[in-house]
Chain A
Amino acid sequence: MLGFKKNVFSYKKLFIAILFLFFLVIIFALSTGRYFISFSDTIKILFSNILPIEKTWDDTAEGVIYNLRFPRLLGAILIGSAFAISGAGYQAVFKNPLVSPDLLGVSSGATVGAALVIILGGGKMTIQFGAFLGGVLAVILATTIPRLLKNNTMMVLVLSGIIVSGLMSSIIGVIKFLADPEDQLAAIVYWQMGSLAKIHMSDIYGISPIIVFTSLILLAIRWRVNILTLGDKEAKLLGVNVSFLRIIIIFCATLLTASAVSVSGTIGWLGLIIPHLARLLVGPDNTKVFPVAIMLGAIFLIVVDTLARILTPAELPLTILTGLIGAPFYFWLLARQRVRL
């Protein structure tokens, strides 16, 4: 019983530490950039909405924070947490910690959608819609194949994901081949590497209802998700409706990834390593993994996006940074766990 108390306590302590870190990176992200604002001014500007604080900063600082950096910050929080929790959901459904939310083709489908709209000359909103639709359709296709084959095993579902992803990458190849190399090809390649540079408050309004709603569903069922990882047979014999639960998780995770990707373009690594890191910190129990993954995903993307803004004069695409940070980090994780996945 002593151990029980100790365990809960340390989880709470850890979560408070993560919240504190979250607050710190928010201040850091809002302050840093080509126009530097002191941390104390940033904190004052943020709290001046709710507290009567004497104005000691100039209007430019307030404008930079609210008009330029705030939408990006919100975008990083929403998108980072969306990738992280959908990754955690996928890793539970497929009983495999090596799985990322791309497994059933959502990212490659979204890329096809976005690329198609780009070569047809569509605007930003249409590209977002095309990406969202492409991602969702790819997953629908991947989940239909097992039904066509009348074989509902996980293995067939994974193979369907590979089939769909492979097909989508070929279509992307064709689109790239047809695209105008001057601007369209560049736009597609840039989209595939992910960026929050062009994000606007209207994008946030567009995706936040879906991301918040589906995240809440996943959070609500997170204890039940544990039971899925025991395997279908054992879960069924515990009275759990396995296929229903699996559909809900895949549905939510797909909407999450598709919404995130539609705004930011594809961002690699996040959905794979953040759930891993969460499990390293709190163990495999998803009642703890899901909330921690959400927070860590947000923190990670805030940091990466801020680095993308400040490291070089021209903005770096996000996947370059997530890869440069993520790959060595993943190596470190595996070394720590001695490849005991």
Chain B
Amino acid sequence: MFDLDGAWQLDERVSVRPERFGALLYHFGTRRLSFLKSSTLLDVVRRLPEQPSARAACAHAGVPDSELPRYRAALAALAASRMIRRRT
């Protein structure tokens, strides 16, 4: 299960391109693409490095509590594909 209370950031080898439906992410190391299908999720991802936790990043991006499980699942998918990683 994705650790919402951990500190996260984008992998350094990931490039982010905003699109009308959200954003495209490309990882130069794995050569894989991911699609963020909401601009709010893009906002969350962008706030990760400056926030103490993923939960705080979600709150600052305006994700309501009822939506938190969906965002948690999305962040888990991004972690599984190595697009985001724990901040050390």
On whether the two chains bind one another, the answer is no
